[in-house]
Structures are given as C-alpha cells and as structure tokens.
C-alpha cells in the first residue's frame, strides 16, 4: 500500500531531520513566552480592580499592591521577551542548519540527474527553488514558527480567560472572529489559494529565466537597437506576473476587507452587549471591571488573530515551497551500480545504439562503431544529424534506450559515475569557466595539482602567455566582477584544464568553433598536445582540421552512412566528398558588389 506523502508543516519536520530537537525547543520557549506576556494583562486587571473597588475612598487604596502588580507586569513582559529571544535563537540555528542541509541535498541531487532534466526545466526554475523556495523554509523556521506558536498559545490563553470571566462577553468577542474566518476561508485554505500560489511561483520561475536570458542577450539587444519591449519573452512574463497579482488581489478583495473589518472591531460587538447587562445592574462594580478588562484585552486578541491569519497563509506558501523542493528531489537520478567496474583499456564501442530525447522522435537509429584506443575518431555530418548526441552519451549524460556503449568492454552503466568521469575529459563548443581565478579554473581539472603542473598545462594549451598579460596573471578573476576572455581564450583555458586532468579518453565537440585564424592555430597546437596517447572522439564542422584522423564517421539523420579515412571517403561520391568540396568552395567565397 502506497504511503501518502507528507505535506506542509509535517513535511517541513521531515526536511528538518535532526534539527527537530531545536524546533521543539523553540516551540516550548515560545509557548512559555506567550504565558509570560499575559502577565501585564493580569496586572492591569488587578490594578483596575483595586481602583474601582475603592473609587469612593481613594485614601484606602493599597499602593503597595499597585506597585507590586506593576512590577509583576514589567517582569512578566521582560521574561516573555527573554524567552521569545532564546526561542528565536533556537529557531534561527535550526533554520540555518536546515537551509544548509536542504541546499546541499538539492545540489548533490542535481549533480546526479541526467542532462535531460536540465533540458526540460529552465535554469530559472532551479534557481528559484534553490534560492527563493528554500528561503521560504528558512524564514518560516527562524521567524514565523516562533511567532505562530507564541500567537496560538497566547490566543488560546486569552480565550480561556475571557470565558472564565464572562462567557457571554467572550461569545460576543468570538462570534465576529468566527465570521471573519469564514469570510476569509477561501483565501486561507481554498482551492483558489493553492492554485494562486502555484501560479505565483510559476510566474516567478518564468521571470527568473527570462531575466537571465535578457541580461545574457544584452549585447545583441543593444547591437540591433532594440529595447525590453522587443525582448518578447521577458516582457510577456512581466505582464503575466502583473496580471496575476491584480487577479489574485481582486479575487480576495471583498473577503479580506470583511475579515479585517470584523476582527479589528471586536470592541464594537462587546460594548453593546456589556452595556445592555450593565444598565440592568449599574451597581455591579465587578461586571464593570470585567467589561473594561474585555475592552482592553480585545485589542490584544485582534492583534493575535490577525497575526495568526497571516501565519496561516504562510503555511500555505511553505507547503508550495516544500512541494517544489520535492519536485526536484523526486526526479530519478542516473542509476549507479552496486559494485562499479573499472576498464583495463579505453577503446569505445557503440553497439546498435538507439536514443531519443522525446518519445517518437528518434535521434540515433542503430548506431554501431568502434573508436580504438590511442586513435582519433572524427564525426562529421549536417547539423542535427546526431553527432553531439553521440558525444554526450559516452559520459552518460543520458542513458541509451537501446543497444549499449562500452569502454574497454565494460558497459558504461556498470561503471560508477566517479570512475566514468575520471576516464575522460571534455572540451565542448560552449566552454564554461567559473567566476573565479584563472588558476582555480585550470586547477579544477586536477584539484591536487602543484603550481608547476598548472603552469605546464597552461603552456601546453597555449594560454600561459596571455594569462601573464592580464592584470593579476593567474590570480585574475574572470566572469562577473572580473575580466572577460574571448571565445578562443576561454577554450584554451578549458584545454589546459583537460591537459591537467590527463584522462585516457578525450571528447572534443566543436572545440575550435569560436576561434579566429590566429586563435585556431593556437588551438591546434594546444589540441595536438592534449590528444597525445589518448582515445579521441572529435565532432567537427571544419573538415580540414580532421584530415589526419585515423577514421572519420559520417552521420546523417541519426545513422552512420560512411566510414573510413579522409582519402578513402574522398574516393567515393558520397556525403563526405560533397561536404569537403563545399568547404573548399567556401575558402574562395567573397561578397559580390557592383
């Protein structure tokens, strides 16, 4: 029988894990704070009782009693704030530890998901979950949980006191509160609330994604003289968020106004009832004292009820945030073998591999080939033929739907991810560098490397000289807040990282795509150093760069249609020869003018 998944607060307690003890301590201290906070009300009641009883004989008023209760009221308030502070500290410690644990868990889980997940889910969604949604959980534990417990405890105590003093006046206070909550019910717990929150978070995710793309595309926007209005996706997402906010506010306008009016006017309901009974017996000083006390305490009751309502809405927000965290954690990671195998050799074999990103749209159709150890295998073909897909399947960025991929005769699904990653290096078309120093970016290839090894890798990658020309050399920060490198320079840094790693398998996917003629020459020198004594798979559009490959595989529409050396393929009137002839023609291409 399937166990029903916990939600809301109970799910939060699960996420908190070992920090639940601190959360319980926070609850106990917040409850104690609430009871101490009631002492000032009790002090006011006793002071007023003494004054009213002896209003006709002021000289007989017990001054010591008044001072005693005044001090008790001050002491109760001081202790209430002290317990609230300690409880808040316990809540903050629990919150930050929980926050840390959840973010580390999400980051670890994301690292084990197939790349297909990131293709289906925009970067803004994951950013929203790791930042805003997790912050909602921290905010609740650190601030709102102590408030929720304190408010609930104080409100319950106030209601008990009111019913003890006078049930009729207590009912006069409770009935408008119940009516207010009924008016507010749909806003707090209804389907519209849940749907609205989901829509709210969807809108935030869309804006996050669009804003990131908008900033990244700023150069193109400026070059073509466009404005935010021409960046349709960003503009549409901003309008969507605006329209949602207006719709959400209008949906609950009447109910919220009724709720605020009823809860904020409790004395308006108590006073007529109290006067009705007091007029019937004007000599009843005890009832007059109770009525005055009710008029004083209802202000506190209103405040607590309004806080409780806000906190109840927060619980709904928390439930949605926890749900979105779970949506990531429930994604199925790549399956790891219980006992991973390690290959003794590093030849790569594709055996009748089929693969599709989406159902019914097969990208690879029965692909079979062998990339021998210590040899260069180049893959060419039209855009969208499946070349890059083949490169991405080797490190198990996705799992094949049919057939198998082996390294040294071992199916890559029988290798643990760490072992698989240790056997290969990558230089992709879209190189990625961290917002860190150049030294640390190269060091990522081999974290235990010495400074001499870093410099040697940079020299071999033909990037040592331009790094030394930067403001702080290897300690120069790149990316946000630092310098920006050209595409060719970035790729050479990535090559240096790969040289430092020195893995036996190397995958190059359009590694010289962004290089100008001078940079391309430097890249060829760097790659010549990198590919030495390795199993190399190269994805290339520039055919002249792969003439000396040991074998060239021509792919079209997900199938291998030709295979052989450069000279063998030129001897046939196939796709490769047509592509080669086209590449030669492009060298002499020029812009015609009259």
pLDDT tens digits, 291-338:
888 888 887 788 778 777 766 666 667 777 777 778 788 888 888 888
Alpha-carbon distances, residue 47 vs 34, 53, 319 (angstroms): 21, 10, 45
- pLDDT for res 559: 92
How much of the chain, in percent, has pLDDT values that exceed 90? 12
- Residue 568: inside a domain: yes
Check whether 12 has a pLDDT greater than 80: no
Domain of 168, CATH number, reads 1.20.1560.10
Mean pLDDT of 89-115: 80
Between CA 165 and CA 142 the distance in angstroms is: 36
Tell the burial category of 35 from Cβ atoms under 10 Å away from its Cβ (0-12, 13-18, 19+). Answer: middle
Same domain, 297 and 378: no
Mean pLDDT of 374-395: 88
- pLDDT for res 1: 42
Same domain, 364 and 451: yes
- Residue 1: inside a domain: no
Check whether 482 has a pLDDT greater than 70: no
- Residue 343: inside a domain: no
Tell the burial category of 174 from Cβ atoms under 10 Å away from its Cβ (0-12, 13-18, 19+). Answer: middle
Tell the burial category of 358 from Cβ atoms under 10 Å away from its Cβ (0-12, 13-18, 19+). Answer: exposed
Check whether 195 has a pLDDT greater than 90: no
Check whether 101 has a pLDDT greater than 90: no
Q: Are 555 and 381 within 8 A, CB to CB?
A: yes
Same domain, 303 and 359: no
- For residues 78 and 164, the model is more confident at 78
- pLDDT for res 594: 45
Q: Which position has the token pair 């006390």? A: 293
Same domain, 383 and 317: no
Same domain, 45 and 162: yes
- For residues 19 and 356, the model is more confident at 356
- Residue 421: inside a domain: yes
The residue from 266, 294, 329 where one domain ends is 329
Same domain, 254 and 382: no
- For residues 484 and 75, the model is more confident at 75
Mean pLDDT of 439-452: 89
Average pLDDT, the chain: 79
Mean pLDDT of 379-393: 87
The residue from 329, 361, 390 where one domain ends is 329
Same domain, 300 and 374: no
What does pTM read for this prediction? 0.62
Same domain, 299 and 365: no
Between CA 86 and CA 75 the distance in angstroms is: 16
Q: Which position has the token pair 């990339």? A: 371
Between CA 391 and CA 326 the distance in angstroms is: 31
Q: What confidence tens digit (pLDDT) does each residue in 325-383 have?
A: 787 888 888 888 888 888 999 999 999 999 988 777 888 999 999 999 989 899 998 88
> Helix axis angle, 191-216 relative to 285-329, nearest 10°?
50
- Among 164, 244, 172, smallest CA distance to 203 is for 244
Check whether 140 has a pLDDT greater than 60: yes
Between CA 194 and CA 197 the distance in angstroms is: 5
- Among 537, 461, 528, smallest CA distance to 505 is for 537
Same domain, 284 and 374: no
- Among 32, 325, 263, 307, smallest CA distance to 144 is for 307
The residue from 329, 362, 394 where one domain ends is 329
Domain of 363, CATH number, reads 3.40.50.300
Same domain, 192 and 139: yes
Alpha-carbon distances, residue 459 vs 53, 427, 463, 499, 533 (angstroms): 96, 17, 6, 10, 19
Same domain, 513 and 398: yes
Identify the band that residue 412 occupies on the pLDDT scale cut at 50, 70 and 90.
very high
- pLDDT for res 490: 82
Beta-bridge partners for 508: 427, 538
Structure tokens at 137: 């959980």
Q: For the chain, how many structural domains are there in total? A: 2
- Among 128, 142, 39, 125, smallest CA distance to 81 is for 39
- pLDDT for res 72: 92
HSE-up (13 A, CA, CB side) for residue 324 = 30
Same domain, 380 and 503: yes
- pLDDT for res 406: 95
Domain range for 35 is 8-329
């Amino acid at each position: 029988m399937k166990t029903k998944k916990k939600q809301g607060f109970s799910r939060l307690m699960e996420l908190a894990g070992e920090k639940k003890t601190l959360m319980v301590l926070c609850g106990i201290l917040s409850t104690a704070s609430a009871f101490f906070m009631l002492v000032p009300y009790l002090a006011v009641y006793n002071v007023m009782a003494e004054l009213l009883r002896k209003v006709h004989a002021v000289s007989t008023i017990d001054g010591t009693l008044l001072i005693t209760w005044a001090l008790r009221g001050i002491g109760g308030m001081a202790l209430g704030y002290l317990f609230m502070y300690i409880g808040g500290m316990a809540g903050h410690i629990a919150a930050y530890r929980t926050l840390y644990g959840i973010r580390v868990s999400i980051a670890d889980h994301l690292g084990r998901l197939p790349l297909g997940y990131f293709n289906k889910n925009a970067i803004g969604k994951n950013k929203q979950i790791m930042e805003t949604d997790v912050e909602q959980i921290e905010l609740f534990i650190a601030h709102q949980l102590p408030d929720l417990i304190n408010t609930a405890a104080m409100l319950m105590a106030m209601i008990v006191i009111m019913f003890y003093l006078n049930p009729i006046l207590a009912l006069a206070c409770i009935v408008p509160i119940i009516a207010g909550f009924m008016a507010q019910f749909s806003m707090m717990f209804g389907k519209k609330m849940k749907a609205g929150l989901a829509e709210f978070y969807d809108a935030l995710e869309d804006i996050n994604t669009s804003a990131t793309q908008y900033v990244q595309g700023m150069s193109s926007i400026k070059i073509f003289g466009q404005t935010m209005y021409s960046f349709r996706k960003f503009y549409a997402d901003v309008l969507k968020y605006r329209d949602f906010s207006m719709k959400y506010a209008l949906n609950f306008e009447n109910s919220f106004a009724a709720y605020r009016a009823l809860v904020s006017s409790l004395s308006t309901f108590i006073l007529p009832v109290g006067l009705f009974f007091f007029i019937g017996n004007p000599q009843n000083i005890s009832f007059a004292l109770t009525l005055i006390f009710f008029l004083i305490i209802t202000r506190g009751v209103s405040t607590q009820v309004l806080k409780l309502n806000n906190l109840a809405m927060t619980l709904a927000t928390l439930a949605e945030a926890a749900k979105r965290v779970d949506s990531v954690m429930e994604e199925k990671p790549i399956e790891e073998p219980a006992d991973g195998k390690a290959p003794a050799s590093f030849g790569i074999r594709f055996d009748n591999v089929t693969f599709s990103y989406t159902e019914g749209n097969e990208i690879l159709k029965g692909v079979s080939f062998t990339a021998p150890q210590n040899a260069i295998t180049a893959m060419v073909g039209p855009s969208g033929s499946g070349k890059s897909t083949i490169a991405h399947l080797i490190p198990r960025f996705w799992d094949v739907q049919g057939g198998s991929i082996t390294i040294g005769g071992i199916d890559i699904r029988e290798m643990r991810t760490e072992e698989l990653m240790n056997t290969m290096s990558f230089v992709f078309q879209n190189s990625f560098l961290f917002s860190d120093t150049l030294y640390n970016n190269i060091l990522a290839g081999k974290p235990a490397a010495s400074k001499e090894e870093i410099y040697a890798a940079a020299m071999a990658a033909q990037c040592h000289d331009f790094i030394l020309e930067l403001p702080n050399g290897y300690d120069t920060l790149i990316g946000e807040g630092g310098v920006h490198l050209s595409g060719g320079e970035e790729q050479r840094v990535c090559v240096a990282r790969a040289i430092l790693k020195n893995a036996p398998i190397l995958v190059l996917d359009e590694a010289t795509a962004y290089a100008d003629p001078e940079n391309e020459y430097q890249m060829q020198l760097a790659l010549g150093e990198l590919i030495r004594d390795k199993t190399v798979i190269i994805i290339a559009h520039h055919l002249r760069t792969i003439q000396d490959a040991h074998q060239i595989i021509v792919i079209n529409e997900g199938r291998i249609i030709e295979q052989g050396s450069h000279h063998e393929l030129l001897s046939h009137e196939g796709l490769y020869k047509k592509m080669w002839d086209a590449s030669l023609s492009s060298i002499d291409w020029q812009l015609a003018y009259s």
